[in-house]
Structure formats: C-alpha cells, structure tokens
Amino acid sequence: MNDKWETLNINDDVIHFYQQYIQDVYNTQIAFQLLRAIQKIWSTYRSESESQLFDEGLDCYVLAPGKTWRKGKIRLRFEFLPDESEPKEIQDNNLETSPLDDLREKLKNLEEE
C-alpha cells in the first residue's frame, strides 16, 4: 500500500464512498460539493466564525517535533491515500490523450456515415 497522501483537486476530482458515511450526503460528488455539504453540516452546529476552518483558516499555534511553536492558520483539505499505485497505462497518459479518445473517434465515424 502506498503511504503518500495526495491533495485532491477540489474543483475536478470526484469522490465516491463505498457506503454512506454522512447522512443526507450523496455517495458520489465532486470534491467541492462534498466540502460544501460538510460546511453546511458544520455551520448548523458551529458559529459562523468557526466556519473559517474551511476557507481562510483559523488562527492557531503548531508545535512540531524539533521546532518551536509557530503561529499561523489551519484549514481543512481533502487528501487521498491510494491503496495501490496507478496502473502504468494511466500514468503514461498525458493531458493530450484520453482513454475516451477511441470512443470519440468511433462516434465521429458513425456520425460521418
């Protein structure tokens, strides 16, 4: 199992849960939709200022091993830990090609006929 957490792209990545963890939240959503649903739930039980946890962050101090206290902000982010590394064929794809290119070509040929 891979032990490297990846920060999700909040606007593009889609999250699907195997089971429903959060009541009234769909199992499959774009990451920003899930974040907004969690924010809504959070705001029901917390004050508006505490909702900053999702956007600009909350003021805090952090103490890390071997360092002194540091002042800053903390905010929530979605991260993903894959069970396995990506299959080789997906890793080799670049932004110019897509696994759907073959299907698009077939559909285009059907339209031309």
**Res 83 pLDDT > 60:** yes
For residue 99, tell me if it sits in a domain: no
Which tokens hold the place of 105?
């070509």
Whole-prediction pTM? 0.52
- Please state the domain count of the chain: 1
For residue 78, tell me if it sits in a domain: yes
For residue 65, tell me if it sits in a domain: yes
Q: What is the average pLDDT score of the chain?
A: 77
For residue 105, tell me if it sits in a domain: no
**Res 75 pLDDT > 60:** yes
Classify 60 as helix, strand or coil.
Answer: strand
Cα–Cα distance for residue pair 47/55, rounded to 1 Å: 14
Domain residues for the domain of 65 are 6-83
34-63 confidence digits (pLDDT tens): 888 888 877 777 766 666 777 788 788 888
| Nearest Cα to Cα of residue 59 among 46, 76, 72, 75 | 72
As a residue count, the chain comes to 113
For residue 108, tell me if it sits in a domain: no
Identity at 45, one-letter amino acid code = Y
For residue 110, tell me if it sits in a domain: no
For residue 94, tell me if it sits in a domain: no
Considering only residues 82 and 74, tell me which one the structure prediction assigns the higher pLDDT.
82
